[in-house]
Amino acid sequence: MSDAPSAYQPPPVAIHPAGHGHTPHHPYLQHHFDNMEQQAEASTLGMWVFLVTEIMFFGGLFMAYLVYRWQAPLGFQEASHHLNIYWGAANTAILIVSSLTMAFAVRAAQTSQPARKQVFWLVSTMVFGAAFLGIKAIEYSDKFKDHIIPGPDFVWHGLYPKPAEQFYSLYFAMTGLHALHMVIGLGIMSVITWMAWRKTFDNEYYTPVEVAGLYWHFVDIVWIFLFPLLYLIGRHYHAAA
Partner 1 sequence: MSGHVAPKSMYYGVFGALMVGTALTVAAAFVDMGALNNVVMLAIAITKALLVILFFMHVRWSTRLTWVVAASGFFWLLILFGLTMQDYLTRGWVDGTWR
Q: Would you tell me which residues interact with partner 1 (CB under 8 A)?
A: 36-37, 40-41, 44-45, 48-49, 51-52, 55-56, 59-60, 62-63, 66-67, 70, 85, 89, 92-93, 96-97, 99-100, 102-104, 107, 110-111, 203-206, 210, 213-214, 217-218, 220-221, 224-225, 227-229, 232-233, 235-236, 239-240
Specify the residue, 154 or 225, whose C-beta has the smaller distance to partner 1: 225
Cα 26 from Cα 198, distance rounded (Å): 17
Residue 122 beta carbon to partner 1: minimum distance, rounded to whole angstroms? 15
Please report how close the Cβ of residue 39 comes to partner 1 at its closest, in angstroms: 9
| Comparison of 103 and 149: residue with beta carbon closer to partner 1 | 103
**Rounded least distance, CB 125 to partner 1, Å:** 12
Complex with partner 1: residue 38 or 141, whichever CB lies closer = 38
Distance of closest approach, residue 161 Cβ to partner 1, in angstroms:
22
Give 171's Cβ-side CA count (13 Å radius): 28
- Nearest in space to 215 (alpha carbons), one of 105, 92, 87: 105
Shortest CB 91 distance to partner 1, Å? 10
Whether 178 contacts 224, CB under 8 Å: no
Residue 21: Cβ-neighbour burial (10 angstroms; 0-12, 13-18, 19+): exposed
CB of 6 to partner 1, least distance (A): 30
For residues 193 and 81, is the Cβ–Cβ distance under 8 A?
no
Amino acid at 3: D
Residue number, 155 or 184, with CB nearest to partner 1: 184
Terminal Cα distance for the chain, rounded: 74
For partner 1, which is the closer residue by CB, 92 or 166? 92
Q: Is 233 helix (H, G, I), strand (E, B) or coil?
A: coil
Closer Cβ to partner 1, 101 or 193, answer by number:
101
Compute the C-alpha angle 212/214/217, nearest 5°.
Answer: 110
